[in-house]
Structure 1
């Protein structure tokens, strides 16, 4: 057995400082999340006076009971899931359709198209022109006004293009010799090897759509089409809970107490889908891309 090499005083001091800083940064990130969780089922009056900071006080689940019994929040949940799924499907398809041709060296004018896409990273059409475009396309107050503008962006296309450029050229040459068409090659070879980048594109699209509320605020009029984040905005910013969350409460003080409970509870409820989705996609970020693709 080899004896463990003793650390010098400088290395030991570095490790102590390093671990201290890392633990400090970790607590700075995790504690606000932990506080929201315990505040969601603690008495808001105890939260406001500072009694709740490590463990919940005067535990109550009335906020969650009202949240899960409110139809508007479930409608928002349904709409957000629908918007996120459609955005992921459409955005992933469009990103791959744009990125793969741009990754091919034999594409005529690919540099021009890349410049065209890159310009959109620095300039946008603006709110008013975009609003007028939605009106001209008759997309106002439809789900497509929320889905299509955020379906894909140039940043995702550039990331996917860079990934496709790293695919082994030998696979395409061998497939071409065997008479494989471009579409068949994409379906049979490119997509199976591209699970990591597809996972990234899907996660970007879902997070972007799930956290967005501005497009819905501008383009949607019917409350039945509101996503969950717009309902959450009304509760957090405008202090206006939707549906029948606080309609049965008479006194202003009690209504404010319940609203505070609902604020924290809705944040937790809104974050759950992403927390559930991420572990299923995270493994692709570290997975080897070309394992088994080329045998030497």
Structure 2
């Protein structure tokens, strides 16, 4: 009887999760199909599963525009630089907090946790960024959010699982704290580093609010801002020109797909570290 109940439970769970996956995936699939549809078919609208009157005209329009490449360059720079800086600073913040001998460790940890509940707010943050001269700079997307309290806690939990004997042996062999951190701790922490790196990269790549607030120069636009202008029709006409073979809707869809592709390509390579890093970093202590 229990076996039958378990099978029913597994079956219902499977059907439910498949339904959720389809509902979640369909909007992206719809945009992909729309981007490969001809002008006439794309303008008809409606729901469909496959491209109608297949054509790559929209991608020729998007990839032939200077706007997309400028936005790509800015997004790639801010994402790569922001991820490297964020992961490094987060690790350098979390690692010392695992040491019992560190002065004022509990006070610092309390201040880190405090920022998870309270923040300075949008206006004080904007004034600070302005006083630092970061307005209309890609660094405004990187430095203000370089360290996340949540990521610090995840790394802190992971670092506590590392055997203390490894560091003791390295110290006996004459290694200094920097050598231990970069030569032993960091290589052993690949799962949690990859997890935090994925979170940082996706967060910066999709960072829309900060880009809207701090970036006014179109030469500094990232992909989220470009998508906003394309969807609002502010630069779509200049991108599409005479719309030879592609409609505004298909160009918007192609721009969305082009913006999403890098994240879709990176995630499978980090997935194994992602699962392991989350489980070890958040469960073990």
Say whether the fold is shared (TM-score over 0.5).
Answer: yes
Q: 2:239 aligns with which of 242, 245, 251?
A: 245
* 1:150 aligned residue: 145
* Uncovered stretches (5+) of structure 2, i.e. residues with no partner: 279-285
Cα offset for 1:162? 0.8
* 2:188 aligned residue: 193
Distance 2:236 2:137 in 1: 21
* Residue range with higher mean Cα deviation, 109-118 or 32-41: 32-41
Q: 1:133 aligns with which of 111, 128, 132?
A: 128
Q: Do the aligned partners of 1:235 and 1:263 also contact (CA within 8 Å) in 2?
A: yes
TM-score, with normalisation over the residues of structure 2?
0.89
**Change in 2 beyond 3 A, CA 1:235/1:13:** same
Cα offset for 1:240? 1.9
**Change in 2 beyond 3 A, CA 1:226/1:34:** same
1:150-199 residue CA offsets vs partner (Å, 9 max, x unmatched): 22211111111111111111111222222221111112210110111111
Cα offset for 1:120? 1.2
Q: 2:110 aligns with which of 88, 109, 115?
A: 115
SS in structure 1 of the partner of residue 175 of structure 2: coil
**Change in 2 beyond 3 A, CA 1:148/1:40:** same
**Change in 2 beyond 3 A, CA 1:88/1:11:** closer
* 1:278 aligned residue: 267
Q: 1:65 aligns with which of 50, 60, 65?
A: 60
Matches within 5 A, 1:1-296: 9-43=4-38, 46-47=41-42, 49=44, 52-236=47-231, 238-241=232-235, 244-248=238-242, 258-286=247-275
1:63-99 residue CA offsets vs partner (Å, 9 max, x unmatched): 1111000001111001100000110111111101100
Distance 1:279 1:161 in 2: 25
1:96-120 residue CA offsets vs partner (Å, 9 max, x unmatched): 1100001212212111111111111
Cα offset for 1:204? 1.1
TM-score, with normalisation over the residues of structure 1?
0.86
Distance 2:250 2:170 in 1: 60
**Number of aligned residues:** 278
Distance 2:80 2:70 in 1: 15
**Change in 2 beyond 3 A, CA 1:89/1:128:** same
